[in-house]
A and B are shown apart, each in its own frame.
Chain A
Amino acid sequence: MVAKKDDHSRPRIPALTSKFLFFVILSAFMLINDQRNDYLSLLRNSIAIAIYPLQSLVEAPSRITTWIEKRVVSREMLIEENRNLQDQEKINLIILQRFASLEQENMRLRRILDAVDRLNHEVEIARIISTNSNPYRHTITINKGIQDGVFEGQVLLDADGVLGQILHSNFLTSEGILISDADHAIPVQINRNGLRTIAVGNGSFSKLNIPYIPNNADIEIGDLFVTSGFGGKFPSGYPVAEVDSIISDPAEQFLTVSATPIAQLNQVRELMLLRTAKNE
């Protein structure tokens, strides 16, 4: 009895060192394998499913406030908004008429060029359920996963332009990386003259770096960068960023160009997943 009591005041933890070694080897194994291959996606998926209730619980207050806001908007505001939208729709229809004929023409030309028709991309709406709190990692979690056909590398858009792409897709949720993440680069070209380059994120939501533009290149402030479609991940023609500063230093071989992303990288809640075929 006395011995037992003594045992209580000095609890010995059985097999602490061997347990430690076992777990360290296990986590080292995970560290090595997570970046190299796909073995651990099942583990990541199942944990992501397990914490999904927590994520939606954390997100609930903001969803409730938007729900209430939606329902208490005044009648006048709704009428006003409705009128504005109707006006906008008329304008859009007029633009669309031209677009339809242009699309026809474009398709005809493409057929002549024997190119694949890529204009009819379908999109699916998804909602951001959480963002990464580390300011250097611009990643987001969205509420669509493998179950909804989301796959790794799928393109994320908002109403204005390219947001990013899917990094991991879990069963119910997926993780996306924004074009402004410091580890992200996207192949682009200038819409005006087709000059090809890449746009690299630098951890700021309002700036992208455009490296490797030669000093004598034809580039102006206000030029629009669109996706070039090279590299195979992003389909061509979606707006990415607008040139906002060009610094030319004759001692350097390249211009220092920075561009402002067109998409509202840190303001969107809803985004669109581009439904392209996986093997396109």
Chain B
Amino acid sequence: MNKNEKINKSQNRIIAFSIFTITMMLTIIPFPEFIVHYMPDWGLMALIFLSINLPKEFNLSTAFFVGLITDVIKGAILGQHTLSSLIIIFTTTKYHLQLRSFTKIQLLANILLLSILYHFILFWVNGVAGVSSSLESYWGPIIGNFIAWPIISEILSKYFIYNTPRKEV
């Protein structure tokens, strides 16, 4: 039992590492201009998924590092994406049991609210720092997240090994 757990943990870690690598690559890839506003926050989506389903292994420290890397990739002020992902991941980790028991639609509505909060914090930091941003770049990713979440969570739930029995809805 114990041995199995260890194997699971290290396997999960490898899977998580490769998933974060892929999300960071998706963040770097330049997309065509008409779709670029609507790109979901890949890193945030992966973080939310992990913090709900494997909150013991992946919580705030993962969020901190992923946020920091996103800051460097996007050329933002250091700490901007870090702060907003920390706040989102804190709530999802804290209430992961409730979030797990939600139906898919309820969870999706929560993801929508959380990504509005995420972008509000980014927007607020931009405003304080005097960086200009457009309305589209504020709403676009929220719509992108809303569309991408069901797909991302469906794909990710296939790859991880869960120690805790997950509630099927």
Is the A/B pair a real complex?
Answer: yes
Show the binding face of A for B, using Cβ within 8 Å: 8-11, 13, 16, 19-20, 23-24, 26-31, 34-35, 40, 43-44, 47-48, 50-51, 54-55, 57-58, 130-137, 139, 141, 167-168, 175, 182-183, 203
12 intermolecular pairs with C-beta atoms under 8 Å apart: A13-B56, A20-B86, A23-B64, A23-B86, A29-B79, A31-B125, A35-B129, A44-B78, A133-B31, A133-B36, A135-B36, A167-B75
The residue on B at minimum CB distance from A31 is B79
Is B86 a contact of A139 with CB atoms below 8 Å? Answer: no
**In B66-80, which residues have CB < 8 Å from any A CB?**
67-69, 72-75, 77-80
Closest A residue to B37 using CB positions: A135
The residue in B56, B60, B80, B130 that gathers the most chain A C-beta atoms within 10 A of its C-beta is B60
Residue of B28, B69, B80, B94 contacting most chain A CB atoms (<10 Å): B28
Interchain CA distance A139-B63 in the complex, whole Å? 25
Q: Which residues of B sit under 8 angstroms from A131, Cβ to Cβ?
A: 30
* B interface size (C-beta, 8 A): 50
Q: Given A27, A48, A134, which contacts B83 in the complex, CB threshold below 8 Å?
A: A27
Report yes or no: A20 in contact with B60, Cβ–Cβ below 8 A.
yes
Chain B nearest CB from A25 CB (Å) reads 10
Q: Which residue of A lies closest to B31 (CB)?
A: A133
Is B165 touching A9 in the complex (CB atoms < 8 A)? yes
Q: Measured between C-beta atoms, what is the minimum distance from B129 to chain A in Å?
A: 6
Name the distance in Å between B116's Cβ and chain A's nearest Cβ: 18
The minimal Cβ–Cβ distance linking A28 to chain B, given in whole angstroms, is 7
> Which residues of B120-158 are within 8 A (CB) of A?
125, 129-134, 136-137
Given known contacts A19-B60, A44-B72, A34 and B77 CB-to-CB distance under 8 angstroms? yes
Q: How far is the CB of B21 from chain A (nearest CB, A)?
A: 7
Pairwise interchain contact B94-A16, C-beta atoms closer than 8 A:
yes
Given contacts A27-B82, A134-B137, contact A11 B74 (CB under 8 A): no
Q: In this assembly, does B25 line the interface, its C-beta being within 8 Å of a C-beta of chain A? A: yes
Pair B133/A134 contact, Cβ less than 8 Å? yes
- Provide the residues of chain A in CB contact with B106, threshold 8 Å: none
Q: How far is the CB of B72 from chain A (nearest CB, A)?
A: 4
Interface residues of B in 33-61 (CB under 8 A from A): 33, 36-37, 39, 55-56, 59-61
B contact residues around A23 at 8 Å (CB) = 60-61, 63-64, 82, 86
CB of B14 within 8 A of chain A? Answer: no
Cβ B37 vs Cβ A47 within 8 A: no
Q: In this complex, what residue of B is CB-closest to A15?
A: B60
Cα(A44)–Cα(B164), bound, Å:
38
Answer yes or no: B90 CB below 8 A from chain A CBs.
yes
Q: Within 8 Å of chain A (Cβ to Cβ): is B24? A: yes
A134–B33 alpha-carbon span in the complex (Å): 9
Q: Decide: A48 near B61, CB < 8 A? Known: A11-B55, A136-B132, A182-B132.
A: no
Interchain CA distance A249-B59 in the complex, whole Å: 58
| Max chain B Cβ within 10 angstroms of own Cβ: one of A11, A23, A54, A139 | A23
